[in-house]
Amino acid sequence: MHGGRDVANDASTVFDLVILGGGSGGYAAALRGAQLGLDVALIEKDKVGGTCLHRGCIPTKALLHAGEIADQARESEQFGVKATFEGIDIAGVHKYKDGVISGLYKGLQGLVASRKVTYIEGEGRLSSPTSVDVNGRRVQGRHVLLATGSVPKSLPGLEIDGNRIISSDHALVLDRVPKSAIILGGGVIGVEFASAWKSFGSDVTVIEGLKHLVPVEDENSSKLLERAFRKRGIKFNLGTFFSKAEYTADGVKVTLADGKEFEAEILLVAVGRGPVSAGLGYEEQGVAMDRGYVLVDEYMRTNVPTISAVGDLVPTLQLAHVGFAEGILVAERLAGLKTVPIDYDGVPRVTYCHPEVASVGITEAKAKEIYGADKVVALKYNLAGNGKSKILNTSGEIKLVQVKDGAVVGVHMVGDRMGEQVGEAQLIYNWEALPAEVAQLIHAHPTQSEALGEAHLALAGKPLHSHD
Ligand SMILES: Cc1cc2nc3c(=O)[nH]c(=O)nc-3n(C[C@H](O)[C@H](O)[C@H](O)COP(=O)(O)OP(=O)(O)OC[C@H]3O[C@@H](n4cnc5c(N)ncnc54)[C@H](O)[C@@H]3O)c2cc1C
């Protein structure tokens, strides 16, 4: 209700902003827009929170945490603790995971209501440059934000049946721990499931067509992760593409382009996610698109002046915090605030497998391309010199990429809990810090953040606990 009017059902209401899709991008725009005094309608066909909260970031991290506890129980003896690992109660794992989701979901629903966003449940379709049709009525706005997100993709001829050939959506609600699993795709989602399932006791093989696991990361991080996975007994096959999958009597057989075959109980297809845009009226209203993605400029404006788009629907990094930032940018722009384009290299990226891979800025290879090979300095700091990492019994490295005599342009970290260090790394990158400036900052001992400090001490020419 707005001033006594039932705005959600009143066709004469013209909102300042009508948002199609209530995932990370859409709801962030709604909350920020409402905070800035915009009259906002948020249309969602399923649950506010979208992929991240219900089928993505949050449930996967809950599974990974359950896996970490299982590993700690198995490995407790090396810390002098007598615990026994009896097995995984998958119903219990789901109960824990669903409890986390439902708590956050309730909180988010409360936020949307308290900020006086008009929430409309239903499947919407863009019906003009300033309206969305939903539940048989037209919702009008001065501006429309498209935020319909993405869904799991497959490969030609590979049908996801939800039973033996599954996507991440199915994997998150699987009622058992698979005895064996093939994971097609060694990107973020693939390696996170590989890590969690291995911790639960599955025999896991990852198939990646490119040369490395997490192939968009700095090559050093990929190699460190591969070494750690090998040690954990997670198998992987790199550099050869998938050819076909067939059912066997009790599972699935995957054949690669070179004829190599793999068999397992289950095949998880984790080859990426595609935009949700088909049949939603975008093209009919003249929105410029490319392979299903909505094209935007650096202010998230489409070619239609009254329409913006954010999140996984646009061809930027598919991350929840990118969706939040893009949604906030749109809300602030429409409210008349000064906005600045997002520097996507400055967005922190974390893969939450065991060990974690975290980075911000550019890779060494990219830095060499941009600045020239002789203008780039790279330094690796081994976590073996870091007290807290030793206590946690994790190994790994922090790699810094610096423009010679200039700022740090890349931070690449591998090791348990290194995802938590990416906050400082992002300040270093985004404030264009010089190694000597970071070296000046005192880091608490013993913490893993100290490793970042020590890496910069070494890069500034005064290494402390650093072995060559
Ligand atoms: C397994 C997995 C793990 C992930 N882990 C992480 C992570 O750790 N960190 C991270 O940053 N990112 C992670 N992501 C990515 C993250 O979830 C997405 O980048 C983010 O959810 C994108 O937000 P979005 O708003 O663009 O789209 P979505 O979250 O997909 O939301 C789109 C919403 O639009 C709704 N919708 C679609 N069509 C219509 C319609 N016609 N009418 C009404 N509503 C509609 C959908 O129901 C959905 O709720 C993960 C993703 C997956 C799949």
Nearest CA to 413 out of 383, 386, 443 is that of 383
Q: Are 318 and 150 in contact (CB under 8 A)?
A: yes
Mean pLDDT of the 345-351 span:
98
What ligand 1 atom has the least distance to the C-alpha of 50? 49
The pLDDT tens digits of the residues spanning 180-233 come to 999 999 999 999 999 999 999 999 999 999 999 999 999 999 999 999 999 999
What residue's CA is closest to ligand 1, atom 12?
319
The pTM (predicted TM-score) of the whole model is: 0.97
Q: Is 57 in the pocket of ligand 1 (CB under 6 A)?
A: yes
445 is a catalytic site residue: yes
Choosing from 54, 94, 412, 445, the catalytic residue is 445
Q: Is 24 in the pocket of ligand 1 (CB under 6 A)?
A: yes
What ligand 1 atom has the least distance to the C-alpha of 123? 42
The pLDDT tens digits of the residues spanning 78-115 come to 999 999 999 999 999 999 999 999 999 999 999 999 99
pLDDT value of residue 260: 98
CA 240 to chain centre: 25
Q: Does the CA dihedral 159-201-63-97 come out positive or negative?
A: positive
What ligand 1 atom has the least distance to the C-alpha of 171? 1
Q: Is 394 in the pocket of ligand 1 (CB under 6 A)?
A: no
What residue's CA is closest to ligand 1, atom 8?
57
The answer to whether residue 458 scores a pLDDT higher than 60 is yes
As given in the structure block, the two tokens for residue 332 are 């602030």
Question: What's the number of CA atoms in the CB half-sphere (13 Å) around residue 19?
Answer: 34
Give me the phi and psi of 123, to 5 degrees please: -90, 120
What residue's CA is closest to ligand 1, atom 9?
57
What residue's CA is closest to ligand 1, atom 47?
46
Q: Residue 133, Cβ neighbours under 10 Å: how many?
A: 17
Q: Is 309 in the pocket of ligand 1 (CB under 6 A)?
A: no
**Over pLDDT 70: what percentage of the chain?**
97
